[in-house]
Amino acid sequence: MSSFIMRPTSVFSIVLLLVGCALLPDRSAAAEQAAAKVDPIARLVGSLSASHVWRNGMYPELRLPATAATDEVIARVFEMTSFQEGRAKGYRILETRLVQISENLPYTNIAAVRISESLPYTYIAALVRTEFGDKIVLLKYEGPRTGWWSRVYDSRPSG
């Protein structure tokens, strides 16, 4: 009759593996949705990715080079953007990060255009505190003729 004996190092390894797996962040859809409720940038990215008209409309011309610092571009955004309450006199950048947002054009019939337009595009997102509340600034360099595209959103969910 053979018996099975585990070495103490084997037991320790198994326990360490189980504890490690239990401590890994939950990447389920429910966890992603819960994180988006807390993270205003993630919530905005999810909302914009589901829309095909979010880039429509006017935006200020920010004729700065591609090498401009994010702080410099955001400063120009707030110089040129007014809110219902007026222009923000002061602000503080709380966080910046790169985000990917799909630019879907579902009404396009040409396959090559439809494929290229449904790919995610990279933007700089900044969470900014103003006297009017927290705002999310999206930035994307469009080229030397246009400079920087920008849009400012309220960080609170609408509705």
Encode the chain (159 residues) as per-residue pLDDT tens digits.
544 454 555 544 554 444 454 444 554 556 555 554 689 999 999 999 888 778 888 888 899 999 999 999 999 999 999 888 889 999 999 999 999 987 655 555 544 444 445 556 899 999 999 999 999 999 999 999 989 999 999 998 765
137 within 8 A of 125, measured Cβ to Cβ: yes
pLDDT at res. 33: 54
- Partnered with residue 153 across adjacent β-strands are 136
**Three-class SS state of 97:** strand
Residue 142 contacts by C-beta under 8 Å, 6 or more apart in sequence? 148, 149
